[in-house]
């Protein structure tokens, strides 16, 4: 998956970065959760996977995404994109869930010393080995690759098919794979090497043939280098992509060539073509479009739940996906070359319609199960893309911090679909995590609603995003702004002196939240965001209506506020959000003294004692 989409899916859609915000990063040296430095499978060196059994052996796969390939400014760091370090506990959870294969994306970037024979930092190679061993400890198959080094979009990307100095690139690439191959030469065939990730020139148009030839050359260098390193690498399964891992650009007449594998000692094929599938993209990955229904299950939701048919994906249905799998089978499987869909999945759009969150989540499980099942039906291995982020637009199936399943229904759909070669395994999935009892887990004496606001100059209350908003967060009782008060272009936090009015809710009725005592019109012409956050769980049993915005005493009825679930699972009412095209369009003047939001709430008894 391309880097910017991976990163954006990790963060909230409404989160914005400003110059005053700094991200801390930590390098990943050793991780004490490893059970052993060498597992039985690795030290015995006898396990092999035949060409006839490769699909069954690999089974359903899972990506340990946004971890070892994460980087900041070209420096790999496991935690810099918000995930915890990889752990044995997380791998245990993946194995217990029924996955048989783990793909571990790895970036090297500035850990490669160009001035020292392209030597890779030994501590980083040791860390990669440690994570591989986590998988061996559970007898899982594991795929490692060279991931972010091939991105045009990051600082330090060097494995570029459109790069000017191809001699340098190829020399460095061979040196890198020589070191990886030597590091793992004694590991048995549980370990698969993947040459690179989404290698292309950064342009999503048709491939450039001259640059495609460079990709073919990289794959050949990869094969030749690994085979020449000896020991188990002479018969290891090796995996490689075409242009941007795109199915059509790999099977069509665009320039892809299978590398030769003359030094393979297995006596049979040991090559795997790698592709990715996020089709249809407007359903699987696009955040701005209101496409949150897909395929047969989506059509059911339109017919039974009266959802808007405009929210149904207009292309890329079951027939299309099966057609893609047929192409891969005819071009590779039938010719003795295995295929792995190294990444697939769709982002969480459960909150796109507050009236049918269960059904949207069920549709997601159906899609993921269908893709996995139809791939398995054609002898292809599917590997789900998990970026570790749970919440709106996330790909997460597990909560990384606790190593627990966050999306058990999707996991079950994928695993069962592959095991039984049943694309419809997830069609009958029913999810109750958002039903009318969702807010009743903890009964309260009262609940609260809070105003959230942000201007175009980043005057805001306690957070840049609704996802981090809450009464326990910093600056909750303060409207602040950034200002260069000392003349050296350093942003300082300034308390504007404004006063907030929040609501304590003990019964059904009409309530008001607001802010007063600050002239917003003096420095800003518009609001970036205006919303109400709460400290109670989102539930269909709660009804929010009659929302009215009052600016300096002038009332403005808000016809279609977004009522959804925030990143903490709480009720969230959005009036203005310049980053969300679905937010209502409201005409207003910037307040000179006060801004209030009045709303009526019904169903409070469902969440109170």
Residues in the chain: 609
Alpha helices by DSSP H, listed for 335-434, are: 357-377, 408-419
- Residue 248's nearest CA partner among 209, 277, 280, 210 is 277
Q: Give the CA angle between residues 283, 147, 567 to the nearest 5°.
A: 45
Q: Give the CA angle between residues 108, 114, 117 to the nearest 5°.
A: 105
Beta bridge partners of 273: 240, 339
Beta bridge partners of 563: 573
Catalytic residues: 198, 343
Structure tokens at 42: 């690795």
Interior/surface letters 278-300, b for 16+ CB within 10 angstroms, e for the rest: bbbebbbbbbeeebbbbbebbbb
Distances (CA, A) of 211 to 144, 159, 217, 401, 507: 24, 12, 10, 41, 66
CA dist., res. 148 & res. 105, Å (int): 8
Our CA dihedral for 238, 172, 42, 86, rounded to 10 degrees, sits at -100
Helical axes 357-377 vs 295-304, angle rounded to 10°: 150
E-state strands within 35-91: 61-63, 71-72, 75-76
Q: Using the structure block, give the residue that is written with the tokens 């850990």.
A: 111
């Amino acid at each position: 998956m391309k880097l910017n989409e991976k990163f954006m899916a990790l963060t909230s859609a409404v989160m914005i970065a400003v110059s005053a915000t700094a991200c801390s990063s930590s390098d990943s040296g050793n991780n004490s959760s490893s059970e052993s430095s060498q597992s039985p499978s690795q030290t015995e060196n006898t396990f092999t996977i035949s060409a006839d059994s490769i699909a069954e052996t690999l089974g359903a796969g899972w990506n340990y995404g946004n971890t070892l390939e994460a980087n900041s400014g070209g420096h790999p760091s496991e935690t810099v994109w918000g995930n915890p370090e990889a752990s044995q506990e997380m791998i245990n959870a993946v194995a217990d869930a029924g996955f048989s294969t783990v793909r571990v994306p790895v970036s090297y970037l500035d850990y490669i010393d160009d001035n020292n024979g392209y030597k890779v930092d030994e501590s980083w190679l040791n860390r990669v080995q440690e994570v591989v061993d986590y998988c061996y400890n559970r007898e899982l198959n594991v795929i490692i690759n060279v991931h972010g080094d091939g991105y045009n979009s990051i600082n330090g990307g060097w494995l570029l098919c459109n790069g000017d100095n191809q001699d340098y690139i190829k020399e460095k690439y061979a040196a890198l794979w020589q070191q990886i191959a030597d590091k793992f030469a004694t590991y048995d065939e549980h370990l698969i090497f993947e040459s690179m990730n989404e290698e292309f020139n950064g342009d999503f148009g048709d491939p450039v043939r001259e640059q495609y030839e460079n990709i073919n050359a990289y794959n050949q260098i990869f094969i030749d280098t690994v085979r020449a390193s000896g020991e188990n690498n002479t018969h290891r399964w090796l995996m490689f992509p075409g242009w941007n891992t795109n199915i059509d650009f790999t099977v069509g007449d665009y320039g892809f060539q299978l590398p030769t594998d003359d030094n393979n000692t297995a006596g049979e094929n040991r090559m795997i073509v790698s592709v990715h599938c996020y089709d249809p993209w407007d359903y699987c990955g696009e955040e701005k479009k209101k496409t949150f229904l897909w395929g047969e299950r989506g059509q059911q939701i339109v017919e039974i739940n009266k959802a808007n048919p405009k929210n149904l994906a207009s292309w890329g249905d079951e027939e299309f996906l099966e057609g893609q799998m047929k192409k891969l089978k005819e071009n590779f499987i039938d010719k003795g070359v295995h295929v792995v869909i190294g990444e697939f999945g769709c982002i969480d759009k459960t909150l796109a319609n507050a009236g049918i969150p269960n059904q949207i989540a069920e549709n997601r499980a159906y899609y993921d199960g269908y893709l996995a099942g139809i791939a398995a039906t054609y002898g292809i291995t599917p590997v789900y893309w998990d970026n570790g982020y749970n919440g709106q637009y996330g790909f997460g199936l597990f909560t990384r911090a606790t190593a627990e399943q966050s999306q058990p229904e999707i996991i079950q759909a994928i695993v069962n679909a592959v095991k039984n070669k049943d694309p419809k395994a997830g069609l009958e999935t029913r999810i109750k995590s958002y039903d009318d009892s969702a807010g009743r887990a903890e009964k309260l004496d009262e609940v609260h609603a809070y105003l959230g606001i942000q201007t175009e100059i980043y005057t805001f209350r306690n957070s840049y995003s609704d996802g981090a908003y809450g009464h326990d967060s910093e600056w909750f009782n303060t409207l602040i702004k950034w200002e260069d008060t000392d003349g050296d272009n350093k942003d300082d936090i300034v308390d504007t002196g404004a006063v907030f009015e929040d609501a304590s809710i003990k019964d059904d009725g009409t309530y008001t939240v607001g802010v007063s005592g600050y002239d917003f019109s003096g420095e800003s012409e518009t609001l970036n965001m205006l919303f109400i956050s709460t400290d109670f769980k989102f539930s269909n049993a709660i009804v929010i209506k009659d929302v009215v915005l009052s600016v300096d005493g002038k009332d403005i009825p808000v016809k279609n506020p977004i009522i959804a679930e925030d990143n903490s699972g709480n009720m969230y009412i959005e009036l203005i959000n310049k980053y969300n095209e679905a937010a209502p369009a409201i005409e207003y003047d910037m307040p000179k003294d006060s801004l209030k939001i009045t709303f009526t709430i019904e169903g409070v008894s469902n969440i109170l004692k």
